[in-house]
């Protein structure tokens, strides 16, 4: 089994506030960066899905902040597919400091799949090849982190 690749983000100055701490909204952006990273690694990027007529909006997002991140820290994002049924999915995130391993943030995002007209889409029925990729990601993530 191939070792899981984590998405790494180097904190930029503009992501910090006057106290030199990362503004909370940036963690949500890093969730999205990690999702894109995973999908590209699996050969199924957002761009490819959108070109096929699959839109993946966020329906809910939550974050629990554990410790502060600062300018030039490298934050590793472990994003795992927690739930998937062909129509909706939930992804969990654990963000850690690369150097210390300290958990900085934990969170989740929920999504659905829509067609260009904004109607719910069943990947299993309409895009079985994409459904298979999501099923594979779910299986791999559950094997590594059975919850």
Question: Exposed, middle or buried, 32 (CB in 10 Å: 0-12/13-18/19+)?
Answer: middle
Question: Exposed, middle or buried, 47 (CB in 10 Å: 0-12/13-18/19+)?
Answer: exposed
- Residue-wise pLDDT for 4-25, tens only, equals 689 999 999 999 998 889 999 9
- Res 147: pLDDT: 52
Q: Which residues are paired to 112 by β-bridges?
A: 88
- Res 42: pLDDT: 86
The pTM of the full predicted model, rounded to 2 decimals, is: 0.91
- Res 44: pLDDT: 87
- Residue-wise pLDDT for 60-91, tens only, equals 999 999 999 999 999 999 999 999 999 999 99
Query: What is the rounded average pLDDT of the residues 84-111?
Result: 97
Query: What is the rounded average pLDDT of the residues 125-145?
Result: 90
- Residue-wise pLDDT for 23-68, tens only, equals 999 999 999 999 999 889 888 899 999 999 999 999 999 999 999 9
Contact between 73 and 83 under an 8 Å Cβ cutoff? The reply is no
For residues 41 and 93, the model is more confident at 93
Query: What is the rounded average pLDDT of the residues 83-108?
Result: 97
Asked whether residue 145 carries a pLDDT value surpassing 80, the answer given is no
- Res 1: pLDDT: 42
Q: Whole-angstrom Cα distance, residue 97 to residue 140? A: 24
- Res 3: pLDDT: 59
């Amino acid at each position: 089994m191939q070792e899981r690749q984590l998405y790494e983000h180097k904190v930029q100055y503009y992501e910090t506030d006057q106290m030199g701490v990362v503004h909370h909204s940036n963690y949500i952006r890093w969730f999205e960066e990690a999702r894109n990273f995973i999908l590209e690694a699996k050969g199924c990027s957002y761009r490819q899905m959108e070109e096929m007529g699959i839109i993946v909006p966020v329906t809910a997002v939550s974050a629990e902040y554990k410790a502060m991140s600062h300018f030039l820290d490298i934050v590793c994002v472990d994003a795992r597919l927690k739930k998937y049924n062909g129509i909706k999915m939930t992804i969990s995130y654990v963000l850690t400091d690369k150097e210390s391993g300290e958990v900085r943030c934990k969170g989740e995002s929920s999504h659905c799949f829509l067609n260009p007209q904004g109607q719910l889409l069943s990947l299993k029925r309409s895009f079985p090849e994409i459904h298979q990729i999501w099923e594979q990601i779910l299986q791999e993530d559950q094997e590594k982190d059975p919850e």
